[in-house]
Copies of this chain bind each other. A is one copy, B any other.
Amino acid sequence: MEFTSQTSADGVVQRLFTTGDIPGALWSPADATDDRPLILLGHGGGQHRLFPGVVGRARWYVNGGGFAVAAIDLPGHGERPKTDQDVEFIARFRDRVAQGLPVSDELAEFHADLAARAVPEWQSTLDALWTVDGVAAGGPVGYAGVSMGTAVGVPLVAAEPRITAAVFGLNGGGQLPELAARITIPIEFVLQWDDEMIAREDVLALYDAFASKEKSLHVNPGRHTEMPLYEVESSLRFFARHLI
- Total count of chain A residues near the partner, CB < 8 A: 19
Residues in B with CB closer than 8 Å to A234 are 234
Q: Which of B214, B233, B237 contacts A228 (CB 8 A)?
A: B214
In the assembled complex, A218 has its CB within 8 A of some CB on chain B: yes
Q: How far is the CB of A28 from chain B (nearest CB, A)?
A: 26
Residues in B with CB closer than 8 Å to A233 are 237
In the assembled complex, A17 has its CB within 8 A of some CB on chain B: no
Report A203-238 CB contacts with B as 1/0, cut-off 8 Å.
Answer: 000011000111111111100000010100110010
Residue of B nearest to A238 (CB): B230
Residues in B with CB closer than 8 Å to A130 are none
In the assembled complex, A60 has its CB within 8 A of some CB on chain B: no
Residues in B with CB closer than 8 Å to A208 are 193
Residues in B with CB closer than 8 Å to A214 are 220-221, 228
Taking a contact as CB atoms under 8 Å apart, the answer to whether A219 and B241 are in contact is: no
Taking a contact as CB atoms under 8 Å apart, the answer to whether B230 and A220 are in contact is: no
Question: In the complex, A42 Cα to B208 Cα: how many Å?
Answer: 30
Q: How many copies does the complex hold?
A: 2
Question: In the complex, A69 Cα to B228 Cα: how many Å?
Answer: 28
Taking a contact as CB atoms under 8 Å apart, the answer to whether B219 and A217 are in contact is: yes
Taking a contact as CB atoms under 8 Å apart, the answer to whether B213 and A221 are in contact is: yes
Residues in B with CB closer than 8 Å to A215 are 220-221
Q: How far is the CB of A91 from chain B (nearest CB, A)?
A: 36
Residues in B with CB closer than 8 Å to A221 are 212-215
Report A129-140 CB contacts with B as 1/0, cut-off 8 Å.
Answer: 000000000000
Report A159-183 CB contacts with B as 1/0, cut-off 8 Å.
Answer: 0000000000000000000000000
Question: In the complex, A212 Cα to B220 Cα: how many Å?
Answer: 11
Residues in B with CB closer than 8 Å to A230 are 216, 237, 241
Given known contacts A193-B208, A208-B193, A230-B241, is B216 in contact with A218 (CB within 8 Å)?
A: yes
Cβ contacts A to B, 8 pairs, < 8 Å: A193-B217, A207-B219, A216-B218, A216-B230, A217-B218, A219-B219, A230-B237, A233-B237
